Amino acid sequence: HPQLTLDVQCGLMLEGVPLLAIADEMGTPCWVVSAGTLRARAGRLLGAMAQAGLSVSPHFAVKANDHLAVLEILGQAGFGADVVSGGELLRARKAGIPASRIVFSGVGKTDAELRLALAEGIAQVNVESAEELEILSGLAVQTGREMRVLLRVNPDVDAGTHAKITTGVAGNKFGVPWDEALELYRRAAALPGVRAAGYAMHIGSQILSAAPFRAAYARMAELVRATREAGLPVSVVDCGGGLGICYRDEGEGSPDAWAGAIRAELGGLDVRLAIEPGRWIAAPAGVLLSTVVLRKAVTGGAPFIILDAAMNDLLRPSLYDAWHGIVPLSPRDAVAEPEIAAVVGPVCESGDMFAQERSLPRLERGARVAVLDTGAYGAVMSSTYNARPLAAQVLVDGDRWSVIRARQGVEALWAEDIVPERIRSPV
């Protein structure tokens, strides 16, 4: 984390800003994202592609972090957007990303979402089934528009990652089965309202080695050749996202190795290439600030450190057993005697925990911590479970910081509830 440093006087700093100052002023829980880190990582990824001699259209996977400020920063860095809902599409547009740089993925796009894609004139729809293809063609004809279509194929390659974030093996709901892809492409080429332009794939997330990418792209190249041999043109290949980061000690996915895999398998095909990275760019850019509500002693065992952040804020540890670093903000806490503790949230679920048997400097009631690498799949996966308002969000840029989302007010939690009259005044 080059942008995250420990200063002997100020404690943990993100870029030039002491995180304690943000926690004190904003209260906790509070998400903080570093603009400098986003820019640096976006640039590093594009640099790796260029270095490999590849010209790719980069689309940030909006699901990883859909804040308008994040999307604007990445739009300025040259990224388009990969969206999976009408809401994400409109967010990307609102953040100034041109429709011509937006691609739409997802297994269950509604008619309304497909109509929106047609009306906005986005770059392409990545179609995931025969049924969706027919529906899109019908809607395009109805509205007098044409849409570029890539078929998302399922290459049946195991990404070697957590089962809940593996998407490219047979039996997943994602994509068109490998051996049906060419026939469906032929159908797409014949249908009105859609222009079959190529293939897309995404095999999973938090992938650390180039091997699964390479295996999947090799199959993709095979499919492109077979399609061309069948007399059908192919001009675009979308390589998906999935490059992983180092949460603990697993090492970070290498943009150069990823670019190398793309070049080795797809570089000679004379197609336009696209990528859809999310996590690699955004995860290390963000932290979640939290305060120790209390220490709960356990006779003969490790104490519970109970935070004011919970699974409703950061779901990843509960959902995927994900490991996130936890670091004290104050310089004094950082050097406290280490102990083994369990770090949990206050929500009424045993699964509401951030770390089990973790060695940490001893944290007293009131101590502040940062949960690391939460810039991707963090705030976007929050809920208001247990009537806990959504946390505030802050953007750090150099030595300045600004609030980019106010803490949700508690009234907002019930503002849209409607109590029927009959219940309010029973007859």
Residue list for the binding site for substrate: 279, 316, 320, 349, 377
Query: Which of 91, 109, 202, 219 contacts ligand LLP by CB under 6 A?
Result: 202
Stretch that binds ligand LLP, among 42-50, 215-223, 270-278, 334-342 (CB under 6 A): 270-278
Question: Which CB sits closer to ligand LLP, 163 or 423?
Answer: 163
Please give the annotated binding residues for pyridoxal 5'-phosphate, written as ranges.
242, 276-279, 377
> Residue type at 254?
S
Q: What is the DSSP letter of 171?
A: T
30 is catalytic: no
């060695």: which residue's tokens?
A: 359
Instruction: Tell me the closest approach of the beta carbon of residue 299 to ligand LLP, in angstroms.
Output: 35
Stretch that binds ligand LLP, among 91-99, 271-279, 339-347, 353-361 (CB under 6 A): 271-279
> CB atoms < 10 A from the CB of 141, how many?
14
Scanning 64-129, the segments in alpha helix (DSSP H) are 68-76, 86-94, 111-120
Query: Which of 82, 156, 308, 397 contacts ligand LLP by CB under 6 A?
Result: 82
Strands 304-307 and 286-296: antiparallel
């001893």: which residue's tokens?
A: 362
Site string for ligand LLP, 89-118 (x = CB under 6 A): ----------------x-------------
Q: Does 64 bind ligand LLP (CB under 6 A)?
A: yes
Burial class (CB in 10 A: 0-12, 13-18, 19+), 68: middle
Stretch that binds ligand LLP, among 136-144, 214-222, 275-283, 305-313 (CB under 6 A): 275-283
Q: CA 189, CA 182: separation in Å to the nearest integer?
A: 10
Supply 200's token pair: 């897309």
Question: Which CB sits closer to ligand LLP, 59 or 368?
Answer: 59
- Binding footprint of ligand LLP, residue count (CB under 6 A): 20
Please give the annotated binding residues, written as ranges.
242, 276-279, 316, 320, 349, 377
Q: Does 227 bind ligand LLP (CB under 6 A)?
A: no
> CB atoms < 10 A from the CB of 171, how many?
8
Output b/e per residue, 400-419; b: 16+ Cβ within 10 A.
Answer: ebeebbebeeeeeeeeeeee
> CB atoms < 10 A from the CB of 301, how many?
11
């990303």: which residue's tokens?
A: 97
Question: Which CB sits closer to ligand LLP, 93 or 279?
Answer: 279
Cα angle, residue 410 at apex, residues 23 and 19 outer, rounded to 5°: 10
Supply 261's token pair: 């895999």
Site string for ligand LLP, 296-325 (x = CB under 6 A): --------------------x---x-----
Q: Does 240 bind ligand LLP (CB under 6 A)?
A: yes
Instruction: Tell me the closest approach of the beta carbon of residue 345 to ligand LLP, in angstroms.
Output: 17
Stretch that binds ligand LLP, among 139-147, 179-187, 202-210, 226-234 (CB under 6 A): 202-210
Q: Does 377 bind ligand LLP (CB under 6 A)?
A: yes
Share in percent of the chain as helix, strand, coil (round to 5) = 35, 25, 40
Cross-strand pairs, 342: 304
Instruction: Tell me the closest approach of the beta carbon of residue 340 to ligand LLP, in angstroms.
Output: 26
Q: CA 207, CA 260: separation in Å to the nearest integer?
A: 15
Query: Which of 175, 253, 278, 345 contacts ligand LLP by CB under 6 A?
Result: 278
Catalytic residue among 10, 30, 239, 348: 348
Instruction: Tell me the closest approach of the beta carbon of residue 337 to ligand LLP, in angstroms.
Output: 33
Query: Which of 67, 101, 219, 279 contacts ligand LLP by CB under 6 A?
Result: 279
Q: Which residues contact 290 (CB under 8 A, 6 or more apart)?
A: 28, 29, 307, 308, 309, 368, 369, 370, 371
Supply 223's token pair: 């499919």
Q: Does 277 bind ligand LLP (CB under 6 A)?
A: yes
Query: Which of 65, 129, 205, 227 contacts ligand LLP by CB under 6 A?
Result: 205
CA distances from 64 to 193, 281, 285, 335, 378 (A): 31, 9, 12, 33, 8
Query: Which pairs with CB-CB distance under 8 Å and at least 24 residues apart come from 109-112?
Result: 110/86, 111/135, 111/139, 112/86
Query: Which of 165, 181, 237, 329 contacts ligand LLP by CB under 6 A?
Result: 165
Question: Which CB sits closer to ligand LLP, 18 or 241?
Answer: 241
Q: Does 57 bind ligand LLP (CB under 6 A)?
A: no
Query: Which of 168, 242, 253, 361 contacts ligand LLP by CB under 6 A?
Result: 242
Q: Does 175 bind ligand LLP (CB under 6 A)?
A: no
User: Interface with ligand LLP by CB under 6 A: which residues?
Assistant: 61, 64, 82, 105, 165, 202, 205-206, 240-243, 276-280, 316, 320, 377
Which are the catalytic amino acids?
A: 348
